[in-house]
Structure formats: structure tokens, C-alpha cells
């Protein structure tokens, strides 16, 4: 089971700041596909994924207990 | 230091507080950047802004930017505070303070910091207008990340 | 304005006061430069500095720099305060605040201001060390004016 | 009669902030020569002259009533 943090417009679209994915291990790319297919979060394609507060690559593996965040293009400053 | 150099806060930012974090007897120059909420952007009137952050990671990324700066401009000190929540026109969203023995580095490092904030720090801005609202994509005028990811490593100037 | 944008003062400078002079609803960026007294210069330890100014002309020249900036970077606002008299280590000698709708101009105009101050504003600095004292020539590392005169007209960037 | 303001090291060398030159009209260049010859202020060669708070050229004329200042290389900031 993996917990996914959502922010900004994704949080509003999903109507939640947190999603739960019922997988033990999956890659960043697999997670993105699940978010699109199961939750229609198409903006995920424009987003970065962070695992434990570090930006991750599509091929990186997400393990149980990791904190995963979907990071839309940032607009701070 | 006893002071947090890289902070996300919910209350108003006092510029002086951020400046004081980088003062030192060996410093001859301090530059600050103060980002404020502008009323008009591309002719559209903003009523207020809402900033959201992934706070723990944002503070980590701010600290990473500080590390990049100390590597590129040895001898500089950096402090950055970014505010989140609802901000009105003229409110301060971010203060970057850089001190340095010499002024050139203080200017360059400061500008580098704001550019990097707009690349890698997980903070988002929602504009509220008279007739609607929208989360902004990044301000570098990109729809998505150019290479599929932000420039995590901090390229050259 | 009811406020003097270009001032020579004898008392300590409050950064916030200078910043407040350039704030505005149309501004998204404010840069400040704070010049402080550094303890060591070229390995030599400064005990304190004494600044002297030809006050009336210095304020006029600061205002001229402000005019040059508004011509080069339309939409910016500038305020500069320079202190004179005896200053100790870490004391603020000068604060330059520039506001602008966009950040790039705020950085460029601010750096332009300090360079111009070091060229044309009649202010002199006397360093006091353990073992002596000396009036400094200009900090642009020139012994005298390059063309027999300062660049009065404010050349390109 | 022309009043000349001195600053920084020139003020210390001359031991006064103000000099009086007994001329009615003279050029900046003539003034510089007088300051060197009559007061041994050799640093004047490295200085600018301001007339009424405006930088002046060597050929500019100084008239009675003008405020003249000798400006050594500046070191503010």
C-alpha cells in the first residue's frame, strides 16, 4: 500500500490531499499510469514525482512506506 | 545558528529578520530580493493569491539552493523565507537575503536563488481574479518541465 | 512623495524605511543592496570608517542616478540613502532599494545604482586601522579618473 | 573672489575646508594651477572640479559667486 500526496489543482480535482494505491512495489511510471487510469488525473503527465522528498525518475521504484508526492509545475517566488 | 535559514511560513515575513540571519563582520554587501503580490499581471487584475507548499520538501529544496550557492560563490551566506496561505496585493511572498564580502557575488547569488526557486521548490500559486481563479503553471513560461523533469542538479549560470 | 528618495544622513539607516519608499501595488519585485562596513579588506583589519560627503551635491548625484535608472528601466522606482560620519564594523553605509513590476529590471537597476555611486557621488571614505589611517581612492581600482573625469553621463550597461 | 570647498585628504592637507582665491574670473584649469602653486595641493591633478554642484571641464569658466568644489576620486558605497 502506497500513500500519494496531491497538491494544487490535482488536489482539487481529486477532492483529496491523499490517495492510497493498493500495490506493494511499483515504478514511478506505473504509478503515473494508475493515477491517470484509476483517477483520471491527466495532469500527472506534466508532473514530477517525489519519493521521500527527492525528485524521482520514471524508472525509480516506490516501496511500501515511501512517501510519494505528485509535483505539478511549481510557481513559487 | 539557532535560526532557520530556509523557511516556509504562514505569517507575514519581516524582511529585517531574514537579513539579520546573514549578517557578519566579514560581509561588505547584503542583497535582498523581496517578491510581492502584484495587482496586475498581463493586464488582469488580481484580487488575492493563495500559495500552497509541500512544506517539508520545499524547505529541503530551499536548503539545497543554499548549498548550490555556497559552492558556486564561496564565502556567501544565504537565507530564504517563503510565505504560504492567502496573500493580498503588496504582501511579501518571498524574501531572499545573500551576504558576501563583495557585492558582485551577492547580486549573482541572489538572482540565482530566485530562478532556482521557480524551478525546483514545490510551491504553487493560485490567482484569484474578479471573474475566476486558476492555479498557475510555473512562471518560467513552460507548460510542463522541459526535459520531463526540473533541473534538479543546478546547472551553470 | 513626502519622502526624500535620495538622502545623505548622519544617523543609522533603517533598511525597512528605504524599502517602504519604493513599494507599490504595481510592483512584484523589490531588490535592496545593503553596503556594510567589512572588518578585513585585503587582509588588513579595519577598526572603523569615516565617511565624508559633499552633501548637497551628493544628494543631487543620487537623484541623477535615479533619473538614469528610470530612463533605462521604465516602471522602476528607486530610493537611496547613504550614511556619513564614523561607522563601525557591520554598520550600514548605504541602502539602495529598487522596485519593479518584474524582477530582472530590479536586479539590473540596483547593481547599476551601486556602480554609479562609486563613480559620481562625492562621498569619501577614510579607513582607520590599528597602525594608521588613509582616505581611500575610488573603489573601482583607479588611481584617478580614467578620462580625466567621471563618467558623468551614465554610459550603457 | 572665489570660494573653494575642499574635502577628504585635500581638506586635511590644506587644514581647512574652504579656500579663498583672489580672482574674479578664471578657468577650471587656471584654478587647478593656483591650488597647486599657491597651496601645494598636488592631488588636485587627480581631482574633478564641480561648479555649483555640477562637474566641470578644464575649460569651463568660474565666475564670482560660484561655489567651486574640488572632488577627489570618490569612494562611497
- Concatenated DSSP letters for D25-57? SEEHHHHHHHHHHHH--GGGGG-EEEETTEEE-
pLDDT in tens, B120-131: 999 999 999 999
pLDDT in tens, A18-70: 999 988 899 999 999 999 999 999 999 999 999 999 999 999 999 999 999 99
Number of domains in chain C: 1
> What mean pLDDT value characterizes chain C?
90
Contact D76 C117 (CB under 8 A): yes
User: Could you give phi then psi for residue B110, rounded to 5 degrees?
Assistant: -65, -45
User: Between chain B and chain C, how many beta carbons pairs sit less than 8 Å apart?
Assistant: 93
- The whole-model pTM stands at 0.92
Q: Given a cut of 60, is residue B148 above it in pLDDT? A: no
Residues of B with CB under 8 A from a CB of C: 15-16, 19, 23-41, 89-90, 101, 103, 106-107, 110-111, 114
Q: How far is residue D10's CA from residue D20's CA, in Å, rounded to a whole number?
A: 15
Distance from CA of C110 to the nearest CA of D (A): 12
Residues of B in contact with A5 (CB under 8 A): 54
Chains touching D, CB cut-off 8 Å, 3+ pairs: C
Taking phi over 0 as left and psi of -120 to 50 as alpha, with beta for the rest, C154 belongs to left
Contact D57 C149 (CB under 8 A): yes
Q: Which residues contact B82 (CB under 8 A, 6 or more apart)?
A: A76, A77, B7, B8, B9, B51, B53, B58, B62, B93, B94, B117, B121, B123
Query: Which residues of chain D are under the pLDDT cut of 50?
Result: none
Distance from CA of C108 to the nearest CA of B (A): 9
* D77: in domain: no
- Which residue in this structure is represented by grid cell 551628493? C58
Domain residues for C15?
Answer: 6-135
User: Could you give phi then psi for residue D69, rounded to 5 degrees?
Assistant: -130, 140
Nearest neighbour of B111 by CB, restricted to C15, C36, C107 = C107
Q: Given a cut of 50, is residue C66 above it in pLDDT? A: yes
Nearest neighbour of B15 by CB, restricted to C16, C110, C114 = C16
The CATH number covering residue B51 comes to 3.90.1170.40
Q: How far is residue A14's CA from residue C54's CA, in Å, rounded to a whole number?
A: 66
Specify whether the CB–CB gap between C95 and C18 falls below 8 A: yes
- Given pLDDT bands bounded at 50, 70 and 90, which one contains residue C141? very low
Contact B118 A75 (CB under 8 A): yes
Distance from CA of B127 to the nearest CA of A (A): 11
Percent above pLDDT 90 for chain C: 82
Domain residues for D7?
Answer: 2-71
Give the mean model confidence (pLDDT) for residues B19-46.
Answer: 95
pLDDT of the residue at B149: 53
Question: Pick from D1, D18, D15: which is nearest to D70 by CA?
Answer: D18
| The dihedral formed by the CA atoms of D46, C128, C49 and D16, expressed in degrees to the nearest 10 | -50
Distance from CA of B139 to the nearest CA of C (A): 12
* A52: in domain: yes
Q: Given a cut of 90, is residue B153 above it in pLDDT? A: no
Nearest neighbour of D8 by CB, restricted to C60, C119, C135 = C135
Residues of C in contact with D11 (CB under 8 A): 52
Residues of B in contact with C38 (CB under 8 A): 25-28, 101
- Given pLDDT bands bounded at 50, 70 and 90, which one contains residue B138? low
Contact D75 C149 (CB under 8 A): no
- Given pLDDT bands bounded at 50, 70 and 90, which one contains residue C157? very low
pLDDT of the residue at D60: 98
Contact B33 C30 (CB under 8 A): yes
Q: Which residue of C has its CA nearest to B108?
A: C107
Number of domains in chain D: 1
Nearest neighbour of B30 by CB, restricted to C16, C36, C41 = C36
Interface probe for A, chosen from B110, B137, B147 (most Cβ of A below 10 Å), is B137
Distance from CA of A23 to the nearest CA of B (A): 24
Q: How far is residue B18's CA from residue B97's CA, in Å, rounded to a whole number?
A: 6
Contact B124 A5 (CB under 8 A): no
* D76: in domain: no
Residues of A in contact with B128 (CB under 8 A): none
* D25: in domain: yes
The CATH number covering residue D7 comes to 3.10.20.30
Nearest neighbour of B33 by CB, restricted to C25, C101, C103 = C103
- Given pLDDT bands bounded at 50, 70 and 90, which one contains residue B152? low
Give the mean model confidence (pLDDT) for residues B34-44.
Answer: 93
Amino acid at each position: 500500500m502506497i500513500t500519494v500526496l496531491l497538491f494544487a489543482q490535482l488536489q482539487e480535482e481529486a477532492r483529496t490531499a491523499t490517495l492510497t494505491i493498493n500495490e506493494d512495489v511499483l515504478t514511478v511510471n506505473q504509478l503515473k499510469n494508475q493515477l491517470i487510469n484509476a483517477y483520471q488525473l491527466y495532469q500527472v503527465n506534466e508532473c514530477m514525482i517525489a519519493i521521500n522528498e527527492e525528485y524521482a525518475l520514471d524508472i525509480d521504484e516506490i516501496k511500501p512506506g515511501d512517501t510519494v508526492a505528485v509535483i505539478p509545475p511549481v510557481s513559487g517566488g | 545558528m539557532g535560526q532557520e535559514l530556509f523557511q516556509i511560513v504562514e505569517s507575514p515575513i519581516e524582511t529585517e529578520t531574514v537579513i539579520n540571519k546573514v549578517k557578519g563582520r566579514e560581509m561588505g554587501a547584503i542583497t535582498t530580493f523581496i517578491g510581492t503580490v502584484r495587482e496586475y499581471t498581463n493586464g488582469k487584475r488580481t484580487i488575492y493569491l493563495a500559495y500552497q507548499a509541500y512544506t517539508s520538501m520545499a524547505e529541503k529544496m530551499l536548503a539545497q539552493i543554499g548549498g548550490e550557492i555556497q559552492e558556486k560563490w564561496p564565502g556567501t551566506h544565504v537565507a530564504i523565507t517563503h510565505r504560504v496561505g492567502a496573500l493580498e496585493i503588496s504582501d511579501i511572498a518571498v524574501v531572499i537575503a545573500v551576504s558576501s564580502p563583495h557585492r558582485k557575488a551577492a547580486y549573482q547569488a541572489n538572482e540565482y536563488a530566485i530562478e532556482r526557486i521557480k524551478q525546483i521548490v514545490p510551491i504553487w500559486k493560485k490567482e484569484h481574479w474578479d471573474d475566476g481563479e486558476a492555479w498557475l503553471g510555473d512562471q518560467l513560461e513552460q507548460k510542463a518541465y522541459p526535459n520531463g523533469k526540473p533541473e534538479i542538479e543546478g546547472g551553470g549560470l
